[in-house]
Every structure is written in structure tokens, then in C-alpha cells.
Amino acid sequence: MKQPVARRDGTVDEYHGRQIADPYRWLEDDTAVETQEWSQAQHQCTRAYLDAIPMREHIKARYTELIDYPKWSTPYQVGDSYHFFYNTGLQNQSLLYIEPKQVQRSREHPLASARLVLDPNTLSADGTVALTNIAFSKDGSLLTYGTSQSGSDWQELHIRRVVEGTDYPEVLKWCKFSGIAWRHDNSGFYYNRFPEPGSVPAEDQSNFSTVYWHRLGTPQSEDVLAFERPDAKELGFSPFITDDGKYLILNVWHGTDAQNRLYYRPVLSAHEDEATNTQSFVRLLDEADASYQFVGNDGATFYFQTDLQAPHGRLIAIDTEQPECEHWRELIAEQEDVLAFAFVAHQHFVLAYMHDAHHKMQVHRKDGSFLRQIELPMLGSIIDASGRPDGDEFFFNFTSYLYPPTIFRYTFADEKVELWHQTESKFDPSNYETTQVFYPSKDGTRVPMFLTYKKGLTLNGNNPVLIYGYGGFDISMTPGFSITPLLWAEQGGIYAVANLRGGNEYGEEWHEAGMLEHKQNVFDDFIAAAEWLIEQGYTHASRVAIMGGSNGGLLVAACLVQRPDLYGAVVCRVPVIDMLRYHKFTVGRYWTGEYGNAEQSAEQFAFMYAYSPLHNVREGVAYPPTLIMTADTDDRVVPGHARKFAATLQQANGGEKPIFLRVEFKAGHGMGKPTTKVIDEESDILAFLCQTFDLS
């Protein structure tokens, strides 16, 4: 089936005195018939190719078999019960349960004493309505939950009576990235939302974040405005209430910037009305000079994890009655390892540190003094943890590349870790291993990389390698269990994860070394990973595949156009591609602190244009086989990026290898994606790679 050729037009923009052509601008318009017809034709061509791959059905069957195991989330205590998510294996969406804390849990029948609170699979026939946000009241009797359709970031909030299993009639709209803060008297909650459509210009629909008070049992039209800052329309405000119920706190954020602010005020008493409230918020931290993550409080003393004057993170105490910097107390100083997260359990600080991109765990007393190290099963990641300041325990969920998520419970009374739930995967890891290596980047920077493969690997220079990376937004790539790498390893492949600059593996300095004018460092790190694997005899260029999504899609696209000779296949998922216009779509403006703004700054235009994948595709170059993936309702990274990139690559490609565009329908950026779609998508990727590398 022949791929459709995209029409080129004469669209040209001027950036700081330079004329920049944008011949596929029309592909940005999702609603245009021409765009829809071209996208559908592209997808049909891609489907014809993928469906004809002989191994695809075998891969899909094996993927389905491996993902079909019970999945549990970390339990969180609410009132006298735990709440957690559970999936039998192939359910499109996981179910929400609660279980009495006092009941002796049965290892053989772990759901015996649990009660179903919400089954998202009943919200749509195809699983494309997902549960994307939950917040229980303090006593656990009420639940606010958010639902999202087709992977959208937009959600609607509903309120459920937990025991009765019935919902209140009101539905709260215009919510995105919403925090939910229940008052402890169960009278209602605070939440943040955006303006009603039509009340602001379309380009401001994701600006003017406001905090509202919702009284239980009343329509949204009666919600009371609790906080706004019309003078700073790009700031976002996420409310939460301290564990003691005394303070309403606003986490104040600007896009995806790591630096944030924090405001607070006392919570109103039961007889006070938000509509007549005269208490104003105290702007405790308002400089946006560092990251401040609220850890807990003892009355007026607030505890924060911060990277202020400590790129690797430290723990401080601020007395809100003496909030000046000179009165701040350092409880736990900056360490050589990076402080990943901290919380309070049993009036102790529980901290996770990151050492060379894998986790360690410690317990400290409230004065900051070290108490003990928590032994972890192996080199891996703590993907979630929970505990209460007044509790007697905490839980953590541990995983690694060959170790499925497993839940452990630490009890303070006997000071020991016990297995809470062991995941029983159908994959036998005994014949595989994960190693960590370090390689030099272009400028000599030492970069870690994890390799997973079959034991007994021969360095014959011919092994197929799939390299994954992200490199941005302060996000660390720590070890995690996933089916795609396991299937790739079963086929004899090496799965590599490079811990690139731009993440937080080595603190804020590592992040800053991969953002704005330093973004090329991220691409250099990724290119160097492939070069090192080739030099060390693991593989050669025609057997190297690269994959990344979102900011990682930008990564692999940039590396593709900079070094097309270095790769045998490219999988580019929901990518950011047009660096000159990305900020114009949906929440793209949230990322200007990370990438820059080519319109506003000539200096930023220069370095962004230099690596923008869309603007660096070269005519006549033989590009490797490439699978570009997007979703029709992605409202985070709009599909126009992927469409324009596919059209540009297909037109310029001087070789015979295919450039495909795969479109997922009724799906978004990835959040809440049903299991059936996950299986189909990952099977397509693996089939594409196996076909390209002639694996069977």
C-alpha cells in the first residue's frame, strides 16, 4: 500500500530576521477534512505493513500471556482502612478497593476482606474512560474521583459515598492537574480548576488556574472562589490540607519548572463559611528560587525537602511564626546521593536516596538524626511509598527490570521489613541479568546505563540492541519492570536504558546540564550510548534501535536527524518535534522553562532551531526505518508534531527504508490507556523491530 504524499504549501514565518518555511502547517489542524483523510491514509498504510508481519500475532499472544498477572498498588491508609488498586491481569482499568486495617490478611485470598469501591471498567465499554485522580476524606467515608475520556488531561470530578457505593449528583468540570483537599469535617473540599470555556480567549484555556471551595451536595455553580491571582495567569495552584487538618496549603507552580512557591492559611472551623472568609493566604515561599516539597508539619513548623543551596536535596524546618530565612533549620544536610523523596511515618522521616540512578532507603528521627537503613532486595527502584505521621508502619513498592513490583511493609514496633504482597509474574527471570555500566559522553561526562539481556551474552558485535532514553524535566530513569523489554530480551536482544542529562539522577545540576541552551548535551549523551555499545563489541549500527516518548520522542527524533547512520531502527512515540511552535498548543507553554521560547528570544531561537527535529531533516539522506506514533486525542503533545515530522521525513528520505505514522484512536498521551490498547501498541513496536532486524 503506497503512502500518501502530503501537500506542501508556501507558509513562511519570520523569526528574528530569518525566514523559516513551514510547508506542512495545515497538518496542525485536527478538524480539517484534509488532515483527517491524510492521517487515516497514513495509518492504513502502517496497519497494512504491521499486520502483515508474520511474527506479530505470536508477539501479541506472548505479550498478552506475560501481562496477564495480578497487579496491586501500594496500600494507603484512610480512616481505619487501606485503599489500593487491583487488576486481575487483563482488565482494561484497575479496580479501587478498601480493606479494614484490623483484619488479618490472607496470603492465599488477599481480596477476601476487601470491598470494591469503584470499577472504572463500567464507565465505558472499551475501557477508554479512566480513573485519573482520587482523594478520600480523612475518615475514608467519602471519595472524590476524577474521570478522563480517551486519554485526555481534562477530567471531571465525582463524589462517592464509600459505604453505600452511590454518587452525589454534582459533577465538577474544567479540571486538569487538579489537587483535591477535603476538610476534616467532611463538609466539602478545595480543588483547582481552569476557566469555563468561552470565558477567556482559547489560548488561555489552560491559564488562570483558580482554587474553589465545593460544599458537599451543592452544584458547581455555587462553588466559592477561594484563591486566584489574575496578575499571574500562568501560575497554577494545587491545594492540600495538612494531616492535622489545621492548614490549607497551595503548591504554586509555573508550568513544569522545578522551582515552585508555597502559600498557606488556617483551615476554617466547622461553623465558618468560605463565602464570608476574610483570611488571606500567607505567601511563605514566593521567590521561585528552588524546589520546595512539603513533607509534613508539627503545628506551625513546616518541613520541606528542598534543593535550595543543595542541588542534591536536603530537609529543612521552617517555623511559620518566624519565617525569615535566618530562622530556618537544616535537619538533614545534602548528601553525595540525591534525595529522591521524603515523608513522615510514626513521627519519623522516611527518605529515599538515589545512588547512580537506583534507590536506597533510610529512616531518620524527627531531629534529623540517622536511625537505620532499610535493606532493599537488589539494585532497583521504590516506585511508591505510603505512611501516616500517626501510624505505626509504612509501605513501599519495589521493582527492577527483572523484579516485578513487590509491596513491603515496615513496622516500627519490631523494626523489620516484611513481604506484604509478592507479584507472581509468568516471566522466569533466572536466565536473564541486569548490569550497570558507565560510558563517556562527547564532553567526557560519565553517564550510567542499565543493560538487561540473556545470561551468557557473547560480545560478537551483532546483538540487537534497543536503547531507551528520556533526558528532561528533572525526571529520572530508574529501574522498572515492563513487558516490552522482557519480550525483547527473549528474542535475544539487549535492552538498554541510558540515564541522560536533563533528568534528576544526579540532582538539579544534572537536570540543568540538559535543558535550554544545554539541550544538545542530552542528544550527545544518547548518541554516545550507541557508540559505546558498538565500540565495546555488543552490537553494530545496523542492529541498534532507539526508542523514546514525549520529551523522549524529541530525543530520538533529534538523534535520528543528527546521526541517521548510527541506527538501524527508530521508534518515536508521541514526540515534541516543532521546537519553534510547540508552545502554541494546549499545555506546550508549560515547557518554556525547559526548552525556551523561539518567538520571544533570538538567543533561544538560535539553539532551538539548531536541534529542532522538524527543521533539521535533510533532503536526500537515507534515513533508517522509523515508526512515528501519535494519538488522535492527545491534548498534551498534539498529534500535529508527529504528522508534520512524518510528512517531512517521507518527502526528504533518500533511501528505501520505510517511514511510518501510526495513529492510536480514542487515546491520548498515555495516561489511563486501557490494557487492550497497550497490548496492541507494544505488539506493533516489537513486531516492527523484529521484522526490521530479522528476528524470529
Mean pLDDT along residues 178-201: 95
Residue 574 neighbours by CB under 8 Å, 6+ apart: 549, 550, 553, 629, 630, 631, 634, 636, 637, 642, 669, 670
Average pLDDT, the chain: 96
Give residue 1's pLDDT. Answer: 62
Residue range 665-683, pLDDT digits in tens: 888 777 788 999 999 999 9
Q: Could you tell me the pLDDT band of residue 102, with boundaries at 50, 70 and 90?
A: confident
Q: Could you confirm whether 141 is annotated as catalytic?
A: no
Contact 524, 442 (CB under 8 A): yes
Type of residue at 117: V
Residue range 370-420, pLDDT digits in tens: 999 999 999 999 999 999 999 999 999 999 999 999 999 999 999 999 999
Per domain, the residue ranges of the chain are 72-168, 431-692
- Report the candidate in 615, 479, 463, 609 with the shortest Cα–Cα distance to residue 533: 463
Give the rounded percent of residues in the chain with a pLDDT score beyond 90: 90
Type of residue at 621: V
DSSP-based three-state secondary structure for 385? strand
Sign of the C-alpha dihedral, residues 511, 517, 523, 529? negative
CA–CA dist 319, 317 (Å, integer) = 7
Residue range 17-52, pLDDT digits in tens: 999 999 999 999 999 999 999 999 999 999 999 999
Terminal C-alpha separation, the chain? 24
Give residue 2's pLDDT. Answer: 77
Q: So what CATH class is 431-692?
A: alpha beta
CA–CA dist 306, 319 (Å, integer) = 15
Residue range 293-345, pLDDT digits in tens: 999 999 999 999 999 999 999 999 999 999 999 999 999 999 999 999 999 99
Q: Could you confirm whether 124 is annotated as catalytic?
A: no
Mean pLDDT along residues 562-584: 98
Q: Which of 312, 359, 511, 669 is catalytic?
A: 669
Give residue 118's pLDDT. Answer: 96
- Report the candidate in 537, 517, 527 with the shortest Cα–Cα distance to residue 598: 517
Residue 274 above 90 pLDDT? no
Residue range 615-665, pLDDT digits in tens: 999 999 999 999 999 998 888 999 999 999 999 999 999 999 999 999 998
Q: Which of 77-81, 273-277, 311-315, 360-364 has the lowest mean pLDDT?
A: 273-277
Residue 350 above 90 pLDDT? yes
Q: Which of 634, 635, 641, 684 is catalytic?
A: 634
- Report the candidate in 254, 274, 267, 297 with the shortest Cα–Cα distance to residue 212: 274
Residue range 61-100, pLDDT digits in tens: 999 999 999 999 999 999 999 999 999 999 999 999 999 9
Alpha helices in 52-153 (DSSP H): 56-67
What distances in angstroms separate CA 647 from CA 29, 203, 431, 461, one per listed residue? 14, 26, 43, 34
What distances in angstroms separate CA 58 from CA 54, 198, 332, 638, 675, one per listed residue? 8, 50, 53, 32, 18
Residue range 515-530, pLDDT digits in tens: 999 999 999 999 999 9
Q: Which of 152, 425, 441, 550 is catalytic?
A: 550
Contact 227, 261 (CB under 8 A): no
- Report the candidate in 96, 107, 99, 106 with the shortest Cα–Cα distance to residue 73: 96
C-alpha cell at 241: 490540607
Contact 96, 132 (CB under 8 A): no
Sign of the C-alpha dihedral, residues 61, 43, 591, 506? positive
Mean pLDDT along residues 338-356: 98
Q: Could you confirm whether 30 is annotated as catalytic?
A: no
